[in-house]
């Protein structure tokens, strides 16, 4: 085929030929893509046609591409017009049907009676307590829409096996701790780990899920940790089964205070913001709190078990003269006097002493699994031991860094039973006897450390505590890295 060079060939006619500068006066190339185009949603056909216009070598193909683009736009506009006319017709039918019903046999007195003692029907609807109606209808059946994407086969298999182990006669509590969710490679697939335990609640009987603290890593700036906290709480609250309670414990990383230079208000999350994310004021699961406290208890009456969640970083947000936080939430643990008074005088007062108590907290009780900087450890142990012995206890420690004052008498209740105190924080698995009861530690959900490999069964780690109060035994079933455990109490 003969090749011709047409680069110097020009054919200008009419107005365009006579006033060329007014037609072609912009010598700049089109390089910037508008945000509406760059970030907007495009279908594959429009992308294909645009590519043809830009890249087709021959003029006949370019013209054909433009023609098809025009026809495609016509199809879209016509479709929207047809859909609009259908909606209008449907609305007319609805109005006609409604007017016919009102003119026919609808008894308006029935609507008036539905108001009850309220002036308006809407006021009565607003007054209805939907707290106990916790059923969520929109569970996704398709695994492809799970948070974090399609579950790998090893996770699906493990979840189904674990669901088959759950017994109806036990209280089954999922405990996922130290996930350290972060939007970097530091915490691979961390959000999906929460989706795993939520999926288990939809496969078998899981009475509760406790996120045991360090639910996010809290390292980067305030905006990022706000997003990370929202992702974590949204995943668990919205993906767990309706019959499964969901509780969050406070960890030393969760506010971000003390990390990466965040030591002033406005640089990290406040305790009030953490409470808001954890929905502590809503009492969604009929738990008992002190106001909107981060500590609470929930009863499982059939098995006579009270689950208590303590806040092991219950520190004041006191400021130094320079505006920095006085207490380092990252490195200092503590139980406030207010929390300990609530624990002694309310949470440990049971219907009778045939009930048992299990306690979850982020940091262990110092001196047991580890020795850490912790305020009011001795006072906490005195409360728990007095409960066990069924004794009277009075504490007055006004000189403590976090003052304590309480008085309680367990003698009429009798000796109490503590199943154990369960914690995370140190990313280890352990069970020891300390201070007269079991201290249990669960490894981190975070994929970090020896033996942990991304995209394998060792990536995640969390437990289900199956508590049999009749046999006084606990079977701990492990998902992911680590092994099953058990103990008696």
Percent of the residues in the chain that have a pLDDT greater than 90, as a whole number: 69
Q: What is the mean pLDDT of residues 127-140?
A: 50
* pLDDT number for residue 138: 47
pLDDT in tens, 209-229: 999 999 999 999 999 999 999
Cα separation, 330 vs 260, whole angstroms: 11
Reported as a pLDDT band with limits 50, 70 and 90, residue 399 is very high
C-alpha angle with apex 487: 482 to 489, nearest 5 degrees?
A: 150
Range of weakest confidence among 108-117, 305-314, 404-413, 460-469: 108-117
Torsion of CA 249, 391, 420, 352, to 10 degrees: -90
Phi, psi of 339 (to 5 degrees): -65, -40
| CB half-sphere exposure, 423, CA atoms < 13 A | 24
Which sign does the torsion angle of CA 57, 58, 63, 67 carry? negative
Place of tokens 């806040």: 311
Query: Are 215 and 190 within 8 A, CB to CB?
Result: no
Cα separation, 466 vs 197, whole angstroms: 15
Query: Are 325 and 332 within 8 A, CB to CB?
Result: no
Reported as a pLDDT band with limits 50, 70 and 90, residue 64 is confident
Residue among 226, 197, 232 nearest 213 (CA): 232
- Output 279-282 pairs: Cβ under 8 A, ≥24 positions apart: 279/233, 279/237
Reported as a pLDDT band with limits 50, 70 and 90, residue 14 is low
Q: What is the mean pLDDT of residues 144-157?
A: 87
Cα separation, 290 vs 337, whole angstroms: 13
* Tokens describing residue 42: 């495009």
DSSP state of 343: I
Q: Are strands 473-480 and 485-488 parallel, antiparallel or unpaired?
A: antiparallel
* pLDDT number for residue 180: 98
Query: Are 219 and 256 within 8 A, CB to CB?
Result: yes
Range of weakest confidence among 45-49, 125-129, 248-252: 125-129
Reported as a pLDDT band with limits 50, 70 and 90, residue 22 is low
* pLDDT number for residue 264: 96
Q: Specify the pTM.
A: 0.73
Reported as a pLDDT band with limits 50, 70 and 90, residue 126 is low
C-alpha angle with apex 451: 445 to 453, nearest 5 degrees?
A: 70
> Is pLDDT above 70 for 297?
yes
Cα separation, 442 vs 178, whole angstroms: 9
Reported as a pLDDT band with limits 50, 70 and 90, residue 69 is confident
Cα separation, 401 vs 157, whole angstroms: 50
How many C-beta atoms surround the C-beta of residue 251 within 10 A?
A: 30
Reported as a pLDDT band with limits 50, 70 and 90, residue 72 is confident
Beta bridge partners of 441: 423, 430
Average pLDDT, the chain: 87
Place of tokens 């509760």: 208
């Amino acid at each position: 085929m003969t090749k011709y060079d047409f680069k110097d060939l020009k054919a200008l006619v009419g107005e365009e030929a006579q006033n060329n500068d007014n037609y072609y006066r912009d010598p700049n190339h089109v390089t910037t893509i508008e945000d509406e185009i760059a970030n907007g949603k495009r279908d594959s056909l429009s992308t294909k046609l645009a590519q043809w216009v830009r890249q087709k070598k021959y003029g006949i193909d370019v013209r054909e591409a433009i023609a098809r683009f025009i026809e495609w736009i016509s199809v879209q506009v016509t479709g929207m017009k047809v859909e609009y006319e259908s909606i209008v017709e449907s609305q007319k039918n609805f109005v006609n049907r409604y007017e016919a019903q009102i003119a026919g046999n609808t008894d308006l007195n029935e609507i008036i009676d539905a108001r009850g003692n309220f002036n308006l029907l809407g006021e009565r609807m607003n007054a209805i307590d939907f707290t106990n109606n916790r059923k969520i209808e929109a569970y996704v059946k398709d695994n492809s829409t799970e948070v974090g994407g399609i579950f790998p086969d090893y996770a699906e298999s493990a979840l189904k096996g674990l669901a088959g182990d759950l017994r109806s006669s036990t209280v089954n509590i999922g405990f996922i701790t130290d996930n350290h969710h972060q939007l970097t490679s530091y915490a691979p697939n961390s959000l999906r780990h929460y989706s795993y335990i939520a999926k288990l609640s939809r496969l078998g009987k899981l009475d509760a899920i406790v996120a045991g603290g360090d639910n996010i890593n809290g390292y980067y700036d305030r905006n990022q940790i706000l997003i990370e906290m929202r992702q974590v709480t949204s995943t668990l609250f919205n993906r767990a089964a309706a019959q499964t309670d969901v509780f969050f414990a406070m960890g030393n990383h969760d506010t971000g205070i003390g990390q990466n230079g965040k030591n002033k208000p406005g640089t990290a999350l406040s305790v009030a913001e953490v409470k808001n994310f954890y929905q502590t004021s809503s009492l969604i699961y009929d738990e008992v709190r002190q106001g909107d406290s981060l500590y609470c208890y929930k009863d499982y009456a059939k098995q006579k078990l009270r689950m208590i969640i303590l806040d092991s970083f219950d520190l004041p947000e006191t400021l130094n003269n320079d505006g920095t936080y006085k207490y380092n939430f990252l490195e200092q643990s503590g139980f406030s006097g207010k929390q300990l008074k609530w624990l002694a005088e309310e949470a440990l007062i049971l219907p009778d002493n045939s009930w048992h108590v299990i306690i979850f907290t982020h940091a262990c009780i110092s001196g047991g699994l580890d020795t850490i900087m912790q305020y009011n450890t001795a006072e906490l142990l005195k409360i728990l031991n007095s409960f066990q012995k069924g004794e009277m206890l009075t504490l007055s420690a006004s000189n403590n860094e976090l003052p304590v004052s309480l008085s309680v008498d367990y003698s009429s209740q009798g000796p109490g039973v503590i199943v154990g105190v369960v914690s995370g924080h140190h990313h280890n698995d352990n069970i020891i006897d300390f201070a007269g009861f079991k201290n249990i530690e669960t490894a981190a959900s975070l994929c970090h450390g020896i033996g942990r490999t991304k995209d394998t069964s060792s990536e995640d780690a969390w437990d289900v505590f199956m508590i049999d109060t009749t046999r006084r035994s606990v079977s701990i079933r492990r998902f992911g890295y680590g092994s099953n455990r058990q103990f008696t109490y």
